[in-house]
Structure 1
Amino acid sequence: MHQTSGSQGQFKRVLLKISGEALMGDQGYGLHPPTVERIAAEVKTVHDLGAEICMVIGGGNIFRGLQGSAQGMERTTADYMGMLATVMNALAMQSSLEEQGVHTRVVSAIPMDQVCEPYIRRRAVRHLEKKRVVIFAAGTGNPYFTTDTAATLRASEMACEAIFKGTQVDGIYDKDPKQHSDAVRYDAVTYDEVLQKRLKVMDASAIALARDNNLPIIVFSLDEPGGFRGILSGNGTYTKVHG
């Protein structure tokens, strides 16, 4: 179903959240440079519209803390390893964006001065005002919190108007559309419906934080060329999570 969301002016500052797995391409692990380049090109098209963009990228293509702890590793250690994986992904995305002429800053919740900037809210806001893409890395800097929660936290702190969650499908479905041909896509759902129906959008703490701050979540397909720009331009297929 085709739907519009108004003019591009509706979203002047947004946060794009993608999983680490989105950077794998067809590989089962790690980074696939052509895929990173393709996603960076999508971000550039939105940047060219004049939107201010920040990003959060997961680390599951390199290391996932929850899986590490399930295999007997202490959870806190496993989560910190997962945070470091997100820094690697952020640097890869920064490199690709810079090659395409987009000024970028990687901002980490865990200080590592030789590699990226520490998170200072006012400085990050200033980067956005100067039209730099800001990639937030290392989650919230705390174990037991996902990058979904980190994305919602940073979007709230940066006063973003929406979180764009790029996935492999064009919205939220009542069941997995890759396994069920009769799966139905929602045009819009409320935060409470996501929690009650346990729809796989973001984890519960991220949804609750978005609800408390009245922060809409736009779920769309990152695999659809031009999809990110299309929604900001007023077109495209997606599901909106709202109050």
Structure 2
Amino acid sequence: MDSRHKVVLLWSAKAGCTFAVKWMLGHMGLLQEALAHHRWIHNYRAHKLYKSAAHKASIQDFVDEPAAYRAVKIVRNPFKRALSSYIHASQCGYEDVHMARFLKRAVDADNRYSFREFVAYLETIDLNACNVHHRLQTHRLERAFAPGTRFVIDLDHSMILLPGLERLLRLRRSNLSRYRKSHHHTQPSKRIATEFSADSLLRVTLESKRDLPGYRHFYDADLERRVYDLYAEDFLLYGFSTTLGG
């Protein structure tokens, strides 16, 4: 929330959230302070920014005059995001207990689960109230903004679209390339992958995820339909193609 520029940033986990928060803090003049506090930008966001008097005052300013604000939302293709959520959950292990209960078998460091099994698990939970990495991207606050005051930026095209938005909102031009650098991002694999991987029980580590095949290698017609059904609101609200071939 930036009361000086009258901008609200809406973001979702596994949808360029680190990039988005850095971009916003840069315009608020807080980025260097945040990075000095901790290299993990969300540490500053959660433990310093949200507890500050200035942030609370910005929220009150928005509540008092919401029509004066413009909302910026950075979004990600739901097919890509669903796979990214799986990779993150598998690597970090935070869903292992729930996955074991769902699959009725051991899930631990040596016994993993597939992307297809992860999607089946997502079909059993509330995607409006689950772990933030798996939730719908659609935010209830978005419905409060009139057309022309909500600006949606596709993460895949953000390097091209954000400079234009900055001009429109009369924000200074950002050095976007430095915001894209983060120690936790998955780097694209350098090998050419051809295998179908949706049913592989992958043991994902920081090293191994660099060699994972592209997201299309995790989808067949069944998973394409099921992920669309899970995140239909995101597909439709943000205008993403509802099929991988689109």
TM-score, normalization by structure 2: 0.25
Structure exhibiting the larger radius of gyration computed from Cα positions: 2
**Larger strand fraction of residues:** 1
Q: TM-score, normalised by structure 1?
A: 0.26
